[in-house]
Structure 1
Amino acid sequence: MKKKVAFYTLGCKLNFSETSTIARNLTDEGFLRVDFTERADMYVINTCSVTDNADKRFKSIVKQAQKVNPDAFVAAIGCYAQLKPEDLAAVDGVDLVLGATEKFNIADYVNDLSKNDYGEVHSCEIEEADFYVGSYAIGDRTRAFLKVQDGCDYKCTYCTIPLARGISRSDVLQNVLDNAKEISEKGIKEIVLTGVNIGDYGKGEFGNKKHEHTFLDLVKALDGVDGIHRLRISSIEPNLLKNETIEFVGGSNSFVPHFHIPLQSGSDEVLKLMRRRYLTDLYVDRVNKIKEIMPDACIGVDVIVGFPGETEEHFLKTYNFLNDLDISYLHVFTYSERDNTKAAEMDGVVPKRVRSKRSKMLRGLSVKKRRAFYEGQLGTTRTVLFEGENKEGYINGFTENYVKVKFPWDPNLINTLQVVKLNDIAEDGLVKCTIMEQVGATAL
């Protein structure tokens, strides 16, 4: 009988794309993939270094696996496994810990799946993570996450990702196009481009600085792939989002008017402490350029509260900056100390209760911003890609500009593109719509 393997993924879209690829590799080696809640012979946990309380979260997931099968082999991979391999190896029940380069060769480290007394560690020096492994994730039948870039050369003072993933490096353009074609042949209609710093796309497979292709080249080439109805840029640094890219997206066949642009702070003083590569003037310029070309574009923003040295005045500057800006929603992160980062040694530590209060204020602002954006879209006609779950008698989907809609459940709508009219906002904050006509292929 085939050995069964189950996966649990923490963190970002990039982790999900890599989990999918590793799972496909193990399937090719003869494993049968099952859900994490099912009894398996091996459980693989893809860890994250950004998540708060990463160690506690990891321990609870290991216990969850052991509850289903106490004799199962447990492997830890991913960012936290690279940063703190010995800590994870010491967790009761963990048999194997693989770092940044080893995770893609997990089959080489798994023999008879017998339990170890202590977790076995295979973790490289991060300088050795200088090669690129392409991957993509298919979470449901409607959307896929396509990895195009890995690692980061930036030295933001709060961030451990360069320590966990190494230098910036990219897939070769043809590989990305081949993966996109493979995804389209599975009937998936939307691809989300993902990476650590995707605007830095073009640095060679081995991290060299020769730019064979730029991010704009990538965008233009992907726009010509047959069968992909939608392409979405997951997150891009403001200093790397060039006018040419914005202008191309504005007139492209497949790229949707949705940008997610990290800000982190609305105070130039704090941005300098963070060692970000732009100031607020440039950020405003990027937002204005997008809105000039695509007035209905959705713009999401990452922001960190409670960074060391962030005074009440700095925070209010951030709050007012975002309040005045024509953006659509926020992803709010409460700063937490990370080992081996410059920020962890800085003065001006913000008390946790103050961080929490500031986070709550910005989350409230996000709700207000999203509502205002949705209200501005009411009465318009948009195209919705419907998803696959029955949510309390409704089917959900997203417009091209990322308005989340709901419609009475109809399984025939799954994975179809429909032209809809946006009518009004329901109590749960989603937009109710009327279907006008169907576009593209029918449901799978």
Structure 2
Amino acid sequence: MRESWRWYGPLDKISLGEVAQTGASGIVTALHEVPYGEVWSREAIAARKAEITAAGFDWVVVESLPIHERIKRNEGDLSALFANYRQSMANLAAEGLHTICYNFMPLLDWTRTDLAAPVARGGTCLRFSAPKMAALELFMVGRGEAREDYIPEVIAEAESWFRASSENDRADLMRAVMAGLPGAYDRYDADGLKAALKLYEGIDRAALRRHLRRFLEEVVPVAEELGMRFCIHPDDPPRDILGLPRIVSNAEDIAWLLDAVDSRANGLTLCAGSLGANPGNDVPAIARRFADRIHFAHLRNVRKDTDGSFEEAAHLTGDTDMVDLVAELLAEEARRGQAGMADWEIPFRPDHGHDLLDDAGRKTHPGYPLIGRMRGLAELRGVIAGLSHAGNR
């Protein structure tokens, strides 16, 4: 497996020189400064790649080439947006970049309510609190229908939190929910979020699936021609948020997606944390079922609460059996190697590490500290080495 590291380019507080000391050899990045829907020029791609190469790395995965919200809503004449997207794909392929991770989550990317929840023995982590999310939906955004989405105990706790909260508390909650949009230009306050949600009125699960299918039909044939691999990132969290449908949350969703346009170019980013936040998901079993379509992996872990809350755990101590999961990915790599496939290696990156030691002072992108992710990478490296050694005995 190819050890990789997510890097936000000029927006990142962590330098490539520091990344080199983690031991990772691959970089996962994007042109985050380009507004959604605009073409990524070949010149800009080449410049970013040259910077990465000069630091001793390979740019192994594009994460992500964002999908404009109008495409997700299937709104108006989309021909120019699709043409721009396909041109960006062609420009990436021309520079030797062939794996694109993307997501189809409406409006919001990964969603958390706390960016610095305390961790036992020190450090902080990202957390999704069901009561806080319910407070935002019910009392800050005014979605009365959200009462159907939460159990009574969560609603009662949400109301208690809201009544006791200050304006600063509510602003912090809104900032946390918005923090999962590292490359987006839109950030919302409560009123802005209400207005943005109105644009999605009438778009239910079936409609969003139709819109995703159209996107795949527009881009996957081009990906095949260019020798590219698309790999969708599962929903995070794997549940509807703010009334917005999430349609890549479990094995049934993944099967639908891969069958919608049946091509190896239409694949999956196996995110252990996103899928692991759904109590019904057996993540190693999902990896085994869809192994031949996994083009990239996010290896992280979560610890779940019974009320629907969850938080980022250390990579080897959450609810997902990480050793079992890595074994499945190594088995798939071995199968590809035996079949003589040139792209046998699966790139992975440690994801959403804890803020440890002096991480807190760096003000990196939430969930992307230096020391916390380096710890995760070291732990995963040990698992891979152990399994590989055992398999070769």
* TM-score for both structures, normalised by structure 1: 0.37
Q: Which has the higher contact order (CA 8 A, sep 6+)?
A: 2
Normalising by structure 2, report the TM-score: 0.40
From the CA coordinates, give the structure whose radius of gyration is larger: 1
Structure with the largest fraction of helix: 2
